[in-house]
Structure 1
């Protein structure tokens, strides 16, 4: 029977989710500084462009600016300006000043738990896994930035994790194998077959972990029929996770 000593979780859309869309939050704050964009078309444009531009910026300036020598706040300001610009906001010196105020406000806002909420069942599941009596270590492997520990603490779940691995601190991000090796090293675990990663992204979570000889479960409504996914490894809700159910899925 499978023995699990380490369970790591992705965070966004696995443990927590946004209360509102990025576009809605960005436009709501921008409106406070005189940027009139709080309309359906602009919100939709920001939601669409944000994801694309974020991927581009992560390639251009990896790990939230670490390799470039800028801080996380500066990295996000760059993304905010690009997102608004591409989404139809005309740039001018005055607008750049307004966007500076907007990005500063957004950075502070998204440094708190306010824009987020726990996915249903997360706290009870983490508590049950922690108290299962089998000395399981629980950690986080996320591609989020340095603000995450504070956010998880404010949401009331930070104390469940023995470690939180973030790109800024190890200069690597999922699906890089270095991320998963770092997690093993954190608790001096030699056998990756005793580790399990749970996340919602097929490539960055499930396949990345499997490629490192870890066990993996794919969370969410992924309808992929890829042969790379064992149907037993798909979970629809965090609430269904108990130690016994995990072992059953992996055997």
Structure 2
């Protein structure tokens, strides 16, 4: 079969291009300690476990940031903050008077560059990819603040679109979420063709899913999700467990659309972005 080149690249955001300056569980704990009488000693692992449990609980009750229930981002995160503090061992009385203030301040923190920084190499990589003709998009299981965060960090301009869970009611690894990205990429191709006055048949330049490379740091949501949707995919990970051929997960790296595993963004430009 003749080789095809990758024409477009979708990125996960948090953990791939953008990272927390300080993890949420640490910021939540600091606010509680500084603004209430709560003083239980907790390890970092305990704080993280409390946040993770609370996040999963609220996401289970109100998936995709309450998209179906029409819950605002502020209300959704307020429930996460409340339940995280309860998991820390705090009583309602310890924080009832500061919960609204906490929600407002923590939302300000995590909806701007105050709470995030770029993963090293992000800006240079995106600039190089765009100059080389790749269409770029964001596909993220995030709330509606992501666009503002990317703008504050100076990289929003590189992307033709940003798709997030809070505005679609979908999340990775759902194939429908990736299908939205495919449609957005092809809309961009169509728009670019019209702008260039290329009078070609409507379907001649449509991208196939395999011509889109998805890059992310979550094995199930990003890597397997993309491959299952027909996309090409590469996983960013520091973990060695995926390198073991005896591990059943290894089979995904032998998939025809797999570009394997890389350690960091700097390795992306070393990939041979062709598919069979």
- Asked whether the two chains share a fold, i.e. TM above 0.5, the reply is yes
Structure 1 residues 30-109: aligned runs within 5 Å: 30-37=32-39, 41=42, 43-92=44-93, 95-109=95-109
Which residue pairs with 1:205 in the alignment?
Answer: 222
Alignment of 1:1-251 (within 5 A): 1-37=3-39, 41=42, 43-92=44-93, 95-132=95-132, 135-188=133-186, 189-222=206-239, 223-224=241-242, 225=244, 226=249, 227-230=251-254, 233-242=260-269, 245-247=271-273
Distance of 1:145 and 1:33 partners within structure 2:
26
Alignment partner, residue 197 of structure 2:
none
Runs (4 or more) in structure 1 with deviation over 4 Å come to: none
Do the aligned residues in 2 keep the contact of 1:139 with 1:162 (CA within 8 Å)?
yes
Q: What whole-Å deviation, never above 9, does each CA across 1:41-62 have from its counterpart, x for those lacking one?
A: 1644221121222122112101
Q: For structure 1, list consecutive stretches of 5 or more residues without a partner in the other structure.
A: none
Contact 2:7–2:207, Cα closer than 8 Å, also in 1 = no
Where 2:223 maps in the other structure, the secondary structure is helix
The alpha-carbon distance between structure 1 residues 15 and 246, as it changes in their structure 2 partners (threshold 3 A), is farther
Contact 1:30 1:36 in 2 (8 A): yes
Q: How many correspondences in the alignment?
A: 245
**Structure with max Cα Rg:** 2
Scaled by the length of structure 1, what TM-score is found?
A: 0.90
Distance (Å, rounded) in 1 between the aligned partners of 2:231 and 2:149: 27
Answer whether contact 1:30 1:99 (CA < 8 A) is retained: no
Instruction: Give SS of 2:172's match.
Output: coil
Question: Any stretches of 5+ residues in structure 2 without a counterpart?
Answer: 187-205
Cα root mean square deviation, aligned = 1.9
Question: Offset at 1:232?
Answer: 5.1
CA contact (8 A) 2:112 2:152 kept: yes
